[in-house]
Amino acid sequence: MKVTIRKSERLDIPQIYNMVKQLATYEKEPEAVTATLADYYNDWDAGIFQVLVAEKDNLVVGIAIYYMTYSTWKGKMLYLEDFVVDAIHRQSGIGQLLFDAFLSEAKRLGAKLVKWQVLDWNEPAIRFYEKNAATLENQWMNGKIFFS
């Protein structure tokens, strides 16, 4: 199995967008994706987010969407917004390759830490992160305010 991990290109945006919609379906919230494909193009062009893609046979089979943010306690932090591997390619090592590339990118950028969220019922993801020696916190609650 030949898989390439690389930084995304603009032409990858439709496949990235479809992977995000797959993730929302997996997370039982398909209707929650209100960002449009046009939003993705505009925000990618503006450098709002970056994406590492796992590519096999010229198809994107995994993504790691991330952006730089700041921890007032630690300094530069890379936030992993979405991390997903296509269902038929899970358990093949692609997720580990993609996650390792994300961690390498964080180190290259001088981040002091990386951070992400995982749903408390997503046992496969929790096991994956535990296998990677991640600290999973349960005492912090998420706060949100949506602007239509």
Query: What residues are annotated to the active site?
Result: 129
Question: If we measure between CA atoms, which residue out of 20, 124, 21, 9 comes closest to residue 55?
Answer: 9
Residue 95's nearest CA partner among 62, 47, 139 is 62
How many Cβ atoms sit within 10 Å of the Cβ of residue 26? 14
Report H helices in the chain: 13-26, 37-45, 94-108, 123-131
The single-letter code of the amino acid at 83 is F
Between CA 128 and CA 46 the distance in angstroms is 32
Category of 87 on φ-ψ map: left (φ > 0), alpha (ψ -120 to 50) or beta? alpha
